[in-house]
Amino acid sequence: MSWSKLKQQLESFLSPALVGRVEYRSTSYRYLPDKAGLCYIAVDKKNVFNMADITTLIRWYQTELEIKNDPNIQIPISDEEIEALRKETEGKVPEDRIKVMFRGRKISEYAKELLSAQSSLSKSNFTVAANQFLSTSIEESLESSDILLNILALVDRRVGRKRILNLSEKMKLKHPIVQYFYELRRSTL
């Protein structure tokens, strides 16, 4: 599918409050066939979703350590998860240390997911993900670990007010760019 047709289809699914504010843009290099172009999402004429751009407002992580040391990341830990770790350690570890251990494990998993999701973004992946979004259900896109599918689903008109409000806990575990688009959508409700 050509870029213009894909863009038209994606923009037809935008929430009415975001029409004109959110734009899908693409650049390509006509005389450099081996150099990939870039796709990005602009909000209010500002480029907010382009991993290669250093002027973006959203933080892109380079290492797992950056994610672990980011104070803005909140990892919710349930009582069931702590109980499972307590059984695994057979009660030999102090209670406060169990929480630290579990948070460390969970944030490592989270960091690996974030870095793998970030590394899969390029123009070809944008078009593949956009075509996948257009052919799958909105629930699958919201539950996906793919950053782009999450963003496309959050700005979609088929996601209503109630569903947006119910996603607040899940969004805490998503990449900062997904959280940005979630807050953008919540601000239009």
For residues 39 and 12, the model is more confident at: 12
pTM of the model: 0.71
For residue 23, the one-letter residue type is E
Q: Which residues is 23 bridged to in the sheet?
A: 42
What pLDDT is attached to residue 54? 46
Closest CA to 24 of 136, 119, 151: 151
Q: What does the alpha-carbon distance between residue 1 and residue 170 come to, in Å, rounded to a whole number?
A: 32
What pLDDT is attached to residue 139? 94
Q: What is the pLDDT of residues 126-174, one digit of tens each?
A: 788 888 999 999 999 999 888 889 999 999 999 999 999 999 988 888 8
Asked if 185 contacts 164 with a C-beta cutoff of 8 angstroms, the reply is yes
